[in-house]
């Protein structure tokens, strides 16, 4: 089932994330995965020519599988997860 037209989706404020993994553990659809990559696409594209601050995303959301249940937001101890209104769904 494709849920791409969700009206709101969970997003992470990486400055608040403590990397506890609670969101991954509670997700019923396995939407959230830890990112073990040490680089991001921005770095790979621009690092050769520009100084780009690099901080790869700690977690990856597979929004095509998300059912917007909110369990990840409810369990986050640091308040790093919140709802974001999806303009593509309107």
Nearest to 83 by CA among 8, 7, 23, 25: 8
Nearest to 16 by CA among 83, 79, 61: 79
Instruction: Please give the helix or strand (H or E) that residue 61 lies within, else none.
Output: strand 59-61
Task: State the pLDDT at residue 5.
Answer: 62
Measuring CA to CA, how many Å separate 45 from each of 42, 54, 74?
A: 5, 12, 36
Q: Greater confidence, 12 or 78?
A: 78
pTM above 0.75, yes or no: no
Q: Per residue in 32-83, pLDDT tens?
A: 988 776 555 555 555 555 555 555 567 888 888 899 999 999 999 999 999 9
């Amino acid at each position: 089932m494709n849920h791409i037209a969700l009206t709101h989706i969970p997003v992470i404020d990486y400055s608040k994330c403590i990397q506890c993994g609670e969101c991954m553990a509670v997700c019923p659809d396995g939407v959230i995965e830890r990112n073990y990559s040490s680089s991001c696409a921005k770095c790979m594209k621009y690092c050769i020519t520009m100084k780009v601050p690099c901080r790869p995303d700690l977690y990856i959301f597979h929004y095509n599988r998300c059912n917007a249940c909110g369990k990840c937001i409810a369990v986050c101890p640091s308040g790093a997860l919140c709802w974001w209104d999806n303009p593509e769904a309107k």
